[in-house]
Amino acid sequence: MLKSLPYIPLLLSSLTFNVMAADKENSVVIPAFNAQYTILRNNKAVGEATRKLSYLNNGLAKYSYQTEIEWLIFSDSRAETSIVKLEGYKVTPTSYEYKREGTGSDKYYKWRYDTANNSAIDEKKQQTKSIDFPENIQDSLSYHLQLRLNMITNPEQEHFVYPVIKTSGSIKNYVYQYDGEEELMLPYGLVKTIRLKREVVEKKRITYAWFAPELDYLLVKLYQIKADVEQFEVQLKSVTNTDAATASSK
């Protein structure tokens, strides 16, 4: 499926997004990065998004996603942060925080996970919930990082299933399916991509996600429809290797 894709050198010579070899305890690491996106609705820019990965002094990694939208009289600001343990190609969430402000009701959640002892701590409510965690448990954000690592390690894989712990403490399977290859012209530039599809039948919602092999499968476009009505579109604008502090955009 993927080996037929030609490599297109879109990055500056000083920027590399190849998977780096690390020590024997952590054999593969995605370099720290900062990706900027434009959010569109009906082909009009309505906001911006930022996806970041950084490494902490305690050996964990911080993965975050933030969006800011202004559309007509509607405003929406969201921030998600997942602190994860990265062991080779495996992502294990240790905490998750979500904050939403804007038009309508504000929301805030903060959970901490002790997967070794099968417990989840709701820090907002100061409650602990016993959960039988699956081996590859993810939170609502960390599964994006695990998906990227899975695509790096097995480019031929076409079906992805992730048990995701929700802010209610329940676990739901997120399923993505290979949906083709596509060349895209984005604010970032021209990229060859792999397209995945996620369909939630009971909510009449379909999400398409595009990943660029030459950027080590960084998410470069996201598109969602619900009951045949477009909800939003997200397109990569620029990406920075924060280790090198060098940006690439077109």
pLDDT digits over 221-236, tens only? Answer: 999 999 988 889 999 9
Over residues 73-94, the mean pLDDT reads 95
pTM (predicted TM-score): 0.84
Is residue 224 in a domain?
Answer: yes
CATH, residue 177: 2.50.20
pLDDT digits over 146-180, tens only? Answer: 999 999 999 999 999 999 999 999 999 999 999 99
Q: What is the DSSP letter of 151?
A: H
pLDDT digits over 8-65, tens only? Answer: 333 333 333 444 333 334 444 699 999 999 999 999 999 999 999 999 999 999 999 9
pLDDT at position 52: 97
Q: Output the six-digit token pair for 161.
A: 């299933």
Is residue 156 in a domain?
Answer: yes
Which has the higher per-residue pLDDT, 66 or 8? 66
Contact 164, 172 (CB under 8 A): yes
Is residue 65 in a domain?
Answer: yes
pLDDT at position 29: 63
Residue whose entry in the numeric block shows the structure tokens 């009951």: 227
Distance between CA 35 and CA 65 in Å, rounded? 10
Q: How many domains does the chain have?
A: 1
pLDDT at position 60: 95
pLDDT digits over 178-203, tens only? Answer: 999 999 999 999 999 999 999 999 98
- Is the confidence at residue 71, as pLDDT, over 70? yes
pLDDT mean across residues, the chain: 87
pLDDT at position 27: 43
Is residue 73 in a domain?
Answer: yes
Residue whose entry in the numeric block shows the structure tokens 């906001």: 47
Contact 221, 186 (CB under 8 A): yes
Contact 167, 111 (CB under 8 A): yes
pLDDT at position 125: 93
pLDDT at position 195: 98
In which domain, by residue range, is 229 found?
A: 20-249
Residue 131's pLDDT band (cuts 50, 70, 90): very high
pLDDT at position 145: 97
- Is the confidence at residue 95, as pLDDT, over 90? yes
Over residues 138-144, the mean pLDDT reads 98
Is residue 12 in a domain?
Answer: no
Is residue 94 in a domain?
Answer: yes
Q: What angle do CA 166, 172, 174 make, to 5 degrees?
A: 105
Is residue 11 in a domain?
Answer: no
Is residue 15 in a domain?
Answer: no
Contact 171, 145 (CB under 8 A): no
